[in-house]
Amino acid sequence: MPRRRIVIYGDPVLQKDAESITSISSSIIALAEDMQAAMYAGNGVGLAAPQVGASVRLIVLDPSAGRDPRQRLVVINPEILEMEEEETAEEGCLSIPEFVTDVSRARLIRAIGMTMDGKSVEIEAEGLAARAFQHELDHLNGRLLIDFLNPLQRDIFERKYQQMLSRKRNLL
C-alpha cells in the first residue's frame, strides 16, 4: 500500500515546474519507493514526483507494469537529448482519472539523468517506454495531457470533469 496518494487534476503542484534534486537524501529514496508503490497500485507505467505532491525532478517508469523488474527505472533530474520518429497514440494519466486523449510523441528518445546511487545514466527508449518517459517529463515541467487539447476540446473536458467530480461528491 503506497504511503502517498496520487494528486488529482486541480492541485496546483501539477502545473508548476519541479525543482532539481541536488542531493540524494533518505527522503528522496523514500519518495522514489512511495512513487513506485503508488504507480503499481494505480496500474500505471510511469509516475512523476509532482503526481504525489512532491515538486522535485524525479520519475519512475516500468513499461512492463510490474511484469519485468529489469524494465523498472528511477531517474533523477531527467532530460531528453534526442527525439525521433513521431507517432500518435492514446494516453491516460493517473492524475486525470477516466480521461484519455491522442498525443503525438517521439517513438525513440535518448535521455540522461541520475540513478538513485548518484551515477549518471544515459537511457535509450522506444515505443511505450519512450512515450511514458516524455509524459513523466511533461509532469516535471508542469504540463498535463489536457495541455495538448485545442481550446474547444479543453472546454468540453473541463465541463465533463466538473460533472464527474460532482457525481463523485454526491456518492460520498
Known catalytic residues are 136
The 96-114 sheet, strands edge to edge: 46-48, 58-61, 73-93, 96-114, 120-126
Integer Cα distance of 115 and 121 in angstroms:
6
**Identity of the amino acid at 13:** V
Exposed / middle / buried, residue 149 (Cβ in 10 Å: 0-12, 13-18, 19+): middle
